[in-house]
Amino acid sequence: MAEAERIIGTPDITGAEGSGETGPDGAAASPEAGAADGQDTGATAADAEAEAEAAVDRSPATRRRRIILLFCVALVAYLLDLGSKMLVVAKLEHQEPIELIGDWLKLDAIRNAGAAFGFGEAFTIIFTVIAATVIVVIARLARKLYSLPWAIALGLLLGGALGNLTDRIFRAPGVFEGAVVDFIAPAHFAVFNLADSAIVCGGILIVLLSFKGLDPDGTVHKD
């Protein structure tokens, strides 16, 4: 019997005893298991970011719709501004101001050679160049535009910039030196027009979108 045991041999259990931890079923755990567990948090964050990126619809059709919306908003803002200025020049210029809400809000036609709200009248040409630059920048951003709110914000900026730039080019005293028609006159505030309002509304919306981490291409980032 002893001779048979010597020939068959006994199980080598020393390697199993020194191999480390075992799983619930008694099997030895693989060395990579701990490392994989340590990477769970990073993998989860990366997966969440990848899912957010994948959720953005970047199809050509979506970009085309956003661009169409941008130009539609810009066109509406531009036409409202242009029409209001034509009406003011024809009916209100060189006339007494019209009181809408007593002394708090009036319609008073003036010619403004400066920037929005009457600031910087000595830099008419500079403001004209800035307006033209804004239009070019918006046109470039439109190539990667997939966000609906950004399309509205950029449309307001574009329409307002075009409205005032039209005055700069076509009104007296000359090309790129023309005075902008302003007519909305709140009490204790500068006189402005609808183009100024569109620019301010678009700018405020862009600031809010930036605080929320929403980019023009539709991605959301967390700082």
Q: How many C-beta atoms surround the C-beta of residue 89 within 10 A?
A: 15
Q: Minimum mean pLDDT among 45-59, 129-143, 144-158, 203-217: which range?
A: 45-59
Dist. CA 55–CA 66, nearest whole Å: 17
pLDDT of residue 40: 56
pLDDT of residue 101: 92
Q: Does residue 47 carry a catalytic annotation?
A: no
Q: Which residues pair with 107 in a beta bridge?
A: 98, 184
Dist. CA 123–CA 119, nearest whole Å: 9
Q: What are phi and psi of 34, to 5 degrees?
A: -65, -40
Q: What are phi and psi of 168, to 5 degrees?
A: -60, -35
Average pLDDT over residues 142-171: 94
Query: Which has more pLDDT, 107 or 49?
Result: 107
What percent of the chain has a predicted confidence (pLDDT) above 90?
51
Q: How many C-beta atoms surround the C-beta of residue 134 within 10 A?
A: 18
Q: Is residue 16 scored above 80 in pLDDT? A: no
Dist. CA 214–CA 216, nearest whole Å: 7
Q: Which of 196, 215, 217, 223 is catalytic?
A: 196
Locate 160 and state its tokens. 């307002």
Average pLDDT over residues 12-28: 46
Dist. CA 117–CA 158, nearest whole Å: 17
pLDDT of residue 143: 87
Dist. CA 173–CA 213, nearest whole Å: 44
Q: Is residue 107 scored above 90 in pLDDT? A: yes
Q: How many C-beta atoms surround the C-beta of residue 149 within 10 A?
A: 15
Q: Which of 103, 182, 215, 223 is catalytic?
A: 182
Dist. CA 163–CA 178, nearest whole Å: 12
Dist. CA 88–CA 92, nearest whole Å: 5
pLDDT of residue 121: 55
Q: What is the DSSP letter of 122?
A: G
CA dihedral 55, 208, 157, 80 (to 10 degrees): 100
- What's the whole-number average pLDDT of the chain? 80
pLDDT tier at 81 (50, 70, 90 boundaries)? very high
pLDDT tier at 113 (50, 70, 90 boundaries)? confident
Q: Minimum mean pLDDT among 61-70, 145-154, 169-178, 184-193: which range?
A: 169-178
Return the beta strands (E) in 41-144 as ranges.
98-101, 105-112
- Reference 143, options 53, 211, 58, 220; nearest CA is 58
pLDDT of residue 4: 46
Q: Is residue 33 scored above 70 in pLDDT? A: no
Q: How many C-beta atoms surround the C-beta of residue 130 within 10 A?
A: 14
